[in-house]
Structure formats: C-alpha cells, structure tokens
Structure 1
Amino acid sequence: MLSDQQILRIPGPSPIPPSVQRAMSQPMIGHRDQETKELLQRIKPDLKPLFGTEQEVNIITGSGTAGLEAAVVNTVKPGDEVLVIVTGAFGDRFAKICAAYQIKTHRYDVNWGEAVTSDAIKEYLEKYPSIKAVFATFCETSTGVLNPVQEIAEAVHTHSNTLFIVDGVSCVGGVEAKMDEWDIDILVTGSQKAMMLPPGLAFIAVSERAWKVIENNTQPRFYLDLKKYRDNLDKDSTPFTPAVSLLFGLEQVLRLIEQEGLEQVYARHQLMMKMTRAAFNALDIPLLTTDKAASPTVTAIKPADFQADELRRILKEDFSLTMAGGQQHLKGRIFRIGHMGYCSPADVLQTISVIEIGLRKAGKTTELGKGTQAAQEVYLR
C-alpha cells in the first residue's frame, strides 16, 4: 500500500481540504498587526450562520475541551448546582469538568446509544429547582447520537430560570444549529471535526442572558475568561496569541461552506448518514442507535458476530483506513465511522466497499457488494 496514503474515517480530527491546507501554509504575520485585524474582520460575520446566532462567536486557541471548560468556569462557581445530561463519554466529560471546579453536579444518565427526552429533563428540573445551568451534548461522539437540543432547550426555559449550555463539538458545521431561535445560551464547537480544520481552535457563542450571568460570576479564571475574548473581539483582536495559521485556514473553510451553501452542507451530511446506515442494515450488522437518534456526522456500529477491533486492525493494515473504536464500557464492542466535514458520498462508498473486504478477512460471511449497493441506492434515490 502507499505509505503516504491515509484514509481517515474517524469522528475527528477529520480530513482537511487541500485549499485549506494551502491557506494555512501562508507566511506568518504578526498577531497584533493590521493583517490579523482584517482577517478577524472577515471571519467574524461568516461564523455566525453556522451557529444560527446574531451574537459574535468567540475564538479560543485550544481544543474543544477548552471550550467546554470555558463554558463551565464562566457561568457557575463552586457550590452551585448544575445538571449534566450524560448520553456518552463527552457528556461524562462535562460532568468531570464541573466536578473539578467543586460544582454540585447532578447527572442524568441515559443508556449509551439512546437520546435523552425533554420530558425527563422537565421532571428533573421540577425536582431540583436550585439548578443554575443545564449542560448537554448535541452530538454524542462516542455513540453517534444526536440529542434533541431544541426540545431540551424549550423544556429547560419553560420549567426553570437556568442556562442551557450545549457541546456542539462534533456536529456544528455539519448539522443545522439555530442557537438564537432554539434559545440555547452557550454553544461550543471545535475546529477539527465538521469545521474541516486541524485541532487547535474552540468556538463559543454566548446569549445575552448568559453574558449577564458571566458578568456576575465571581469564579476566578484567566486564560478562559470569556469577557476578555468578547472585549478583544469587539476590537478585532484576541486577548492572547491566536493560532494564526488556523485562522488562515478558517477563512478558507468559511469560503468553501459559502460556495456549497449551508443547506447543501447539511443535506450532504444527512445523505452520508443514510448511505452508511443503509449499508450496515443490508449487511445485517447492528447499529448502536435508532434512525431517529442517529447523528449525521458519525455512525456507531455494534457487531454481534465478529470483533470490532479486529476489523479496524485489518482495514488499517491493508488499506490505511482508520476508524474509531469504542470508549469506556463500549471499548472493543463497537466501531465508529466519521462522515463529517471534508467528506462526500464518494468517500462513503469507498469506505463501505473496503469494509466489506475487511469483513471477509475478519471471518464474517457476507455477500460482497451488498452494503455498497444499498448505499448506492440511497444516493440514487
């Protein structure tokens, strides 16, 4: 096989468009110079539609987890009560961040592979009226679940005066997000997934209601102080040294999204999800989630008659195709396919075809081409 060829089909980091790679290779500029100021001026308005907000989107140099921690440390303080909805490993991470800051954390745990229901959250908030914020995961990367954040937001704001804070790291840019219309108070994402960039940037949009809470929050913070980012962004700057090369890439990403059209981007992700799910249904290999709960950006598969990690090993060795494994108690029991960002139906067809060969080598008796055909038929429909 070609030593330089890597077929990356994990739910982040995701492949980088060549034009974005070229943009990131531009000569370095001073981060306090006029060129960077103008770069941020061009970027700012084009980020807003991806979040569905009229608020400015703050840019932090750091991973998606830095964005999640910023959402916690800016809105609540030690002793405050919060509710964290845990539908997988990244909901669990939100809970761990809260616990690290000595915040009284209520967990609402959902079976991994299932989405949370808004009725359950209504009941929980009525039971615990002192909760100051509700944290949820939009797309739970570890399970391929897309939680109904619009319905949850309505439940939160109808039955409490709390903030609703959402981790959108593995789906913003690939699924519709209407932060303002849905009444989400903070929406976070990262650069390395549907945003088609390398890891290194976190994006955080904040509602007016959340800013009022942040202004009055006495919890100490320094690098992750969102007020610093807001005030500097108003002046087309950043409070600390930004990842300038990633900003070059971000400008090109936003240009590519504009060229394709945001609705077409969302439709492409829906199509890739349906093609992937149809393929595994045709191959009689169980999916972890229902169609209703499925994410357009990542699909989790739970095989019953072959080893998930053995299939992953074969595909990596034979085809340089990388898929993700399971996390925590699902380790070794599932594999996950990322179909987000710089990914097309052609990439899905390639992936399914290669997986069918891997299944044979892993010892599963299956008809070659059956999954690929099912995906092709979805595309043609």
Structure 2
Amino acid sequence: MQDKHYLLIPGPTPVPPSVLQAMSRPMIGHRSEEFAALHRRIQEKIKHVFQTEHEVFILTCSGTGGLEAAVANVLSPGDRVLALITGNFGERFANIARAYGAEVDEVHFGWGSDVDLAVVKEKLARGGYKAVLATHNETSTGVLNDIAGIGALVAETPALLLVDGVSSVGGVEIKMDEWHVDVLVTASQKAMMLPPGLAMIGVSPKAWRVIEENRAPRFYFSLPAARKSLEKWNTPYTPNVTLFQGLDAALDMMLAEGLENVYRRHRLLARATRNAVRALGLELLAGDACASPTVTAVKSPPGIPADDLRRVLKAEFGITFAGGQGILKGKIFRIAHMGFADKMDVMVAVSGLEMALARMNYPVELGRGVRAAQETFLGREQR
C-alpha cells in the first residue's frame, strides 16, 4: 500500500492519535484565559517529567534553538567551556558555544563510547570553566551518557552543567534537581511524541544567578523574558498554540502510563532490538553498558552499504531507518524505538531488516532476529 509507512527514525517520531486529536482543536488566542489555563496545566505536568521543582520554559523553536537559548543566556564571549563529545550532537553543542564567542575545550571520547568520568574529574580539577556541555542521549551513535555522574562532579565546582536531553527526556529517566543539572533542554519531536517545533528548558537556581548577571545580548531566546511572562502563564512572543495543545495531551499519556513504566518500556524495546541484531550476526556500535534506550546504532555488514540497505527497506517494505552522521555516514543505520513505540514496532523493524538483507544477498537466516526479539518480549532471552 502506497500510504502505509513505518517511521523508525530518532525524530521526528510518530504522533499518537490522541495527540493529533488535541492538536486539531479550534485555535485559541495566545493571550487568552484559555491559553493561560493550558500553559498552567502543562507546567504542572512537565515538572514531573523533568523531575524538577523549578520552572520549565517552553519556546517555539527546534531542539537546536533550545540549546542555543541555553548557551545565549549563560555564556559571554571569552568564557571557558568544557564540551564532552561522544558524537554529532555533542559537536553541535560545542559549535553553538563557539559561535557565541566561548573558548571551548573539546574532549572527544569516540563515536560509540560514553563519557569517561575520570577524564571529566581531571579536567574540572584544573578549574576556570564557566559551563560544562553534555549530551545525555547521543542519537548519532546510540550512546547514553552518565549525567548523574557528571552532575555530581560539576556540582563541586562553580561551573554550570548544561545538558542536551533532546532525545532522552520523556523516554529515559533524568532527575534534573537530584542530578545537579543546571540547564536541561529537550524538544517536542522525540520521546515527547509531538511534531517538531517546541523546545523545553529547565533552569536551576544556580543557573539563574549566572543568567541574571550575564550581559551578553539576547532577544527571542531571553530566558528572563520567558520567566517574566510565565508569571502570568504566558510567553513573551507568539507560541505555537497547536503544539501546546498537543503537549498537554502527550504529557497526559506519559503520566497515565507512569514514568517508571515509560522508562521500562523503552529499555525493553532497546534490549529486544539489540538481541535481534546480535542474532543476525550484525555488530552494534555501542556496548551494553552505555546503550541508548531510545535508538540502536548498527554497523552495516561487509559488502552492504548502509544507505543502500535503507533504500531497500523503504522502497520494498515502507520502513524508514536513520542513516549515519558525520564520520559514520554510510557506515551504520539507526533504529529508533522512542516515544509512541511498542513491541510490534520492533517486530516490524527486525523482520523488515531480515528481508532487506536477504534481498541484498546477505547470508541471513530468516526468522532468527525475529525469534530473538520475541524471546526477549516473552522473558526467555539468553543471559
């Protein structure tokens, strides 16, 4: 069927029917009492997801816009920044800071590896950093970083911890306050189960002291302006009202399922995917100790270009996997299992992968990966 399609990329992700229905409600004025009530409801619910007692600001922009807002409000030209890089999005965060005139000390841990806390501790001991930039879930490599560990180290210094949680918040546990995260950024189109267009930013009291003293210019991305408007349950500039309505419904879904159940579901989907990939004789990019619960990166087998495999999947089976980025372009493919995802999404992904490999004359045993995923879901996986 021409219109039948399976979107299995790490953003944008499929949107649940109830969220689409909420987004189809009649438009309301963004300066109205109705919008203020909507904004207040969202604020009460999103704090649970961020695990914070402090305000979460919602900007109408992409996740990259949210990261730029974090940088613009904290950093001034000449500030020293420690950037912890495990992939493409860690590099992007560093580049944003550099664009704002910061002196960026980049530490690269390798594409497929996570942040080494011993290295972070050694770097911080030298002092002088205004901020530390970290990516919680690096979707370009399928790596999850230890934000709790990083936060404990940064908390002992004057530096602020700025975290890119764009592809983790809503699918992976993160405790903003307990883990000493000073600025946490996420976006609508990943585990939050919405179309692209909203960035959400949590800010700690420690960060506010820096933000209030910062004299660097900012306008649209001004968090002080956002805080002033939030006092009246408003936004400083025109928000995407439709996405706010969708966010309200998406948060209801997540809280009804229960956050612990949401996190458990994502871990199970990731484990089933990884077990299936191993059963097919393919190599995973990230090790089990740092594997992302929301996306799995797989090395394409010898003689099978990753992008050719992805083309077969889409053309013949209507399945879309993500490709590699940066130095991994053409070398890996990525299977997302985030947000509005369940067991059968993984079964579609694995069975489609088997058939695509067979179509490309790779010696795959059909059903082997599917069985591994099934056994995982039935609690019969091999330990």
> For this structure pair, what is the TM-score category when the shorter chain's length is used for normalisation?
over 0.9
* Residue type at the aligned position of 2:35: T
SS in 2 for 1:182: coil
Task: State which of 185, 189, 194 in structure 2 corresponds to 1:188.
Answer: 185
* Residue type at the aligned position of 1:147: N
Aligned residue number for residue 291 of structure 2: 294
Cα distance, 1:303 vs. partner? 2.2
Determine if contact 1:119/1:155 at 8 Å carries over to the other structure: no
Identity score, percent:
52
* Residue type at the aligned position of 2:247: L
Structure 1 runs not aligned, ≥5 long: none
Aligned residue number for residue 343 of structure 1: 341
Task: Tell me how far apart the structure 2 counterparts of residues 358 and 216 of structure 1 sit (CA, whole Å).
Answer: 56
Aligned residue number for residue 241 of structure 2: 244
Aligned residue number for residue 310 of structure 1: 308
Aligned residue number for residue 22 of structure 2: 23
Task: Tell me how far apart the structure 1 counterparts of residues 154 and 252 of structure 2 sit (CA, whole Å).
Answer: 35
Task: Tell me how far apart the structure 2 counterparts of residues 291 and 227 of structure 1 sit (CA, whole Å).
Answer: 41
The question of 1:262 aligning with 2:259 is answered: yes
* Residue type at the aligned position of 1:371: G
What do residues 151-193 of structure 1 show as CA deviations (whole Å, max 9, x unaligned)? 01111223x2100110000010001110101111011000000
SS in 1 for 2:289: coil
Root-mean-square deviation (Å): 0.8
* Alignment map for 1:72-221 (pairs within 5 Å): 72-127=71-126, 129-158=127-156, 160-221=157-218
Cα distance, 1:361 vs. partner? 0.8
Cα distance, 1:362 vs. partner? 1.7
Task: Tell me how far apart the structure 2 counterparts of residues 164 and 209 of structure 1 sit (CA, whole Å).
Answer: 10
Aligned residue number for residue 37 of structure 2: 38
Task: Tell me how far apart the structure 2 counterparts of residues 26 and 35 of structure 1 sit (CA, whole Å).
Answer: 12
SS in 2 for 1:181: coil
Alignment: residue pair count: 378
Cα distance, 1:304 vs. partner? 3.0
Q: TM-score, normalised by structure 2?
A: 0.98
Determine if contact 2:189/2:195 at 8 Å carries over to the other structure: yes
SS in 1 for 2:284: coil
SS in 1 for 2:174: coil
The question of 1:322 aligning with 2:320 is answered: yes
Cα distance, 1:354 vs. partner? 1.1
Cα distance, 1:72 vs. partner? 0.4
Cα distance, 1:41 vs. partner? 1.3
What do residues 239-273 of structure 1 show as CA deviations (whole Å, max 9, x unaligned)? 00000000110111011112211111000000000
Aligned residue number for residue 67 of structure 1: 66
Determine if contact 1:117/1:152 at 8 Å carries over to the other structure: no
Task: Tell me how far apart the structure 2 counterparts of residues 66 and 255 of structure 1 sit (CA, whole Å).
Answer: 25
Task: Tell me how far apart the structure 1 counterparts of residues 68 and 330 of structure 2 sit (CA, whole Å).
Answer: 29
What do residues 207-230 of structure 1 show as CA deviations (whole Å, max 9, x unaligned)? 000001000001110000011111
* Residue type at the aligned position of 1:95: A
Task: Tell me how far apart the structure 1 counterparts of residues 318 and 375 of structure 2 sit (CA, whole Å).
Answer: 27
Determine if contact 1:64/1:188 at 8 Å carries over to the other structure: yes
SS in 1 for 2:54: coil
Cα distance, 1:124 vs. partner? 1.0
Determine if contact 2:109/2:116 at 8 Å carries over to the other structure: no
Cα distance, 1:293 vs. partner? 0.7
Aligned residue number for residue 8 of structure 2: 9
Task: Tell me how far apart the structure 1 counterparts of residues 232 and 346 of structure 2 sit (CA, whole Å).
Answer: 43
What do residues 260-290 of structure 1 show as CA deviations (whole Å, max 9, x unaligned)? 1111100000000000000001111000000
* Residue type at the aligned position of 2:52: T
Task: Tell me how far apart the structure 2 counterparts of residues 232 and 269 of structure 1 sit (CA, whole Å).
Answer: 35
Task: Tell me how far apart the structure 2 counterparts of residues 82 and 22 of structure 1 sit (CA, whole Å).
Answer: 43
Cα distance, 1:52 vs. partner? 0.9
Q: TM-score, normalised by structure 1?
A: 0.98
* Residue type at the aligned position of 1:22: Q
